[in-house]
Amino acid sequence: MSVADRRTVFVGTGSHIPPRRVPNEDFLDVRFYLDYGRPCELADTPKIIDKFREITAIAERRWVDDGVVTSDIATDAAAKAIAASGIDPETLDYVIVAHNFGDVRSDNRRTDLVPSLAARVKQRLAIANPECVAYDLPFGCPGWLQAVIQADYFLRSGDADRALVIGAETLSRVSDPHDRDSMIYADGAGAAVLEARAAAEPIGILAHAARSDTIDHARLLWMGTSYDPEFGDDRLFLKMYGRKLYEYALATVPGVVKQSLDRAGLALGDVDKVLLHQANDKMDDAILRRLFRLYGVSEIPAGILPMTISWLGNSSVATVPTLLDLIWREQLDGHRLASGDVVILASVGAGMNINSVVYRCP
């Protein structure tokens, strides 16, 4: 096929949703700290949990069991995506794994990044082809979508025909048990097989946009020791300035989404679904409203913003591909994708990084 006719399409998706449910009630006996050395009274914990659910909509999250690491669940999601696509894995040109912390064991919380998670996944999938290049991509929560953007460049240029893109994380291993924000974080993995197809009509990935704001926003998420001064060791946990992050996302994400739509030559009315990174229910709703306001539209169509955060929490790079897989397999009530549907996939996270992809289902 000619380069001009090459289009990047999803041909199979998969996800790993850990079976272990962790409801909010599991945090009732936790002593939370507002910041370093600023403890909350244990009697305040139920109020903190109630307020947390009101703001985020999270009632439970999924955590991996002891003995399971990120590359394990990445491999499972990848195997499901390959099976759904029906391809021979030896025909893959790339295996890209988006994550931020590598393999973190339950009995040793140090980050393990060598060899890369992509190399581990490729080995476990028994892909022998040496021309299948495996590498990792750390890009905060938007990492999986950034890997999709990279894969699209490879496929559209003729450099490759197929790529496996995975997002996997075990945030339960890097969350401070005495930080209220630890209730947000979850574990999971999502994957997709992308393939170049010849098509005269615009299908698959139509356009994308991305940005990184580091001068004033690089450390809205960072790694720090436990808020509990008597925690017992100096291991590092994921920390964030939640309010500032919220304000940043509302100010910038809608514009990036609009930029991707403009590049695709589409209007907001052409969009059937918006798959946003699942970090906070109220934040996602506010982002969507800001996006519609950019187009002068006040009424938002019902069902355009599918959500999973109430029962899956925030699994970082896994949230968008998991959401896509659930809809693709018609396992999310009231949501499905049909040929010709236009989908926005967008994410925001550590860096601070944002990206948005416009996709038309073939």
Domain ranges of the chain: 3-198, 204-360
CATH no. for 204-360: 3.40.47.10
In angstroms, the CA 340 to CA 114 distance is 42
Question: Is 1 a residue whose pLDDT tops 80?
Answer: no
Cα→Cα distances 264→68, 183, 259, 344, 346, Å:
41, 37, 9, 11, 15
Across the range 164-186, mean pLDDT stands at: 95
Which pTM does this prediction carry?
A: 0.95
pLDDT value at 219 more than 70: yes
Burial state string for 19-30 with b = 16 or more CB within 10 A and e = fewer than 16 = eeebebeebeeb
Please say whether the beta carbons of 206 and 262 come within 8 A.
Answer: no
The answer, yes or no, to whether residue 150 has pLDDT greater than 70, is yes
If 0-12 CB within 10 Å is exposed, 13-18 middle and 19+ buried, where does residue 291 land? buried
Dihedral angle of Cα 253, 306, 181, 322, to the nearest 10 degrees: -100
pLDDT band at 3 (very low <50, low <70, confident <90, very high): low
Grade residue 41 by pLDDT with cuts at 50, 70 and 90. Answer: confident
End-to-end CA distance of the chain: 17
Q: Which tens digits make up the pLDDT trace of 85-117?
A: 999 999 999 999 999 999 999 989 889 999 999
Query: Do 3-198 and 204-360 fold alike per CATH?
Result: yes
Instruction: Assess whether pLDDT exceeds 90 at residue 273.
Output: yes
CATH of domain 3-198: 3.40.47.10
